Structure 1
Amino acid sequence: MDRALEPHAGWTFLTNHARVLAAIFDDHTVRVRDIAARCQLTERAVQKIISDLEEGGYLTHERQGRSNVYRIAQGTFLRHPADAGATVADLLSLLVHQDNRRATVAEAQETH
């Protein structure tokens, strides 16, 4: 069941760049429009983030017909010095683990 997401003001734990990367990891053929909806961003903001990620070497895309197919450079190291040694794959594995856990909790709630 999809629930409407409420706008959020203030700081958050994940950056918009991490959210966009996670959306692409979830579906490597996802459209910018769908990323924007999922991450609660404008399409223009998503396009800028994708450009940043490509310039940083974290992401590439290939045009296939009218769609883009993205490829994440999972071995690329995270940028912040405090994250030295951690890779994009490490980050994504944490996010996927959390998504799987959230789905399990949601399924359990629906059956009760």
Structure 2
Amino acid sequence: KRFIEIKQEHGIDQRELLLMMNALGDWLPTTLHSSMFQLLIDSQGSEEQAARWGPLADEGRMIGCYAQTELGHGSNLARLETRATYVPETDEWDLHSPSLSSAKWWIGGLGVIATHALVQAK
């Protein structure tokens, strides 16, 4: 959280924040929040998603993890079992991991402190 405070106090951009974190020589629980979660919202999200979620993530009001790796398949995207189905009646996504091998794994320290997840699914 202190990195986010420093970023705001001194007008540091995302690239500079990542350089500061890297200079520590050790990973923080929030490193993936900055390097993956925020990056993917900005680069792969729609304009509406970036406008809605980007500021929350940038200000630390939302801490996100990146959930790709599955217990039985590692990071092999072609073999992901987790499914995401859009439900138009509720404007929500139904996430389903059908077996133990599809359980998301190795989310790191963010798996404990994250309030949101960017989930890779088919």
Common fold: TM-score over 0.5: no
TM-score by length of 1: 0.30
More strand by share: 2
More helix by share: 1
TM-score by length of 2: 0.29
Q: RCO greater where, 1 or 2, for CA within 8 Å and sep 6 or more? A: 2
